[in-house]
Structure 1
């Protein structure tokens, strides 16, 4: 029977801010931490690019 469970596609990991964490296993919590850490990195990269664009525009218009 367990072999059938392995064949099923895993549900995509998602996280809702403020969600009840008491029902999650340690493995699920670890997966969510990894997911959110990757998302923080992605957000930081986007912010860096936007900051560089803004700085370039400010520099251009000050000249």
Structure 2
């Protein structure tokens, strides 16, 4: 469980860096070495740690 929480925190930080960068998901992800869909997934799944503009609307 700690490992899952650590991964979630790591991805939440990546999403934050992405949003601060001003780059598109594809450009940012490729530069960082992962896939854009991973950013989108985390932005929608990381709950309150994801930037407001990427939280799921219900």
Whether TM-score is above 0.5 comes out as: no
Q: TM-score range by the shorter chain?
A: 0.3 to 0.5
TM-score by length of 2: 0.37
Larger Rg: 1
Return the structure number with greater relative CO, CA threshold 8 A, min gap 6. Answer: 2
Q: Comparing both structures, which one devotes a greater share of its residues to helix?
A: 2
TM-score by length of 1: 0.35
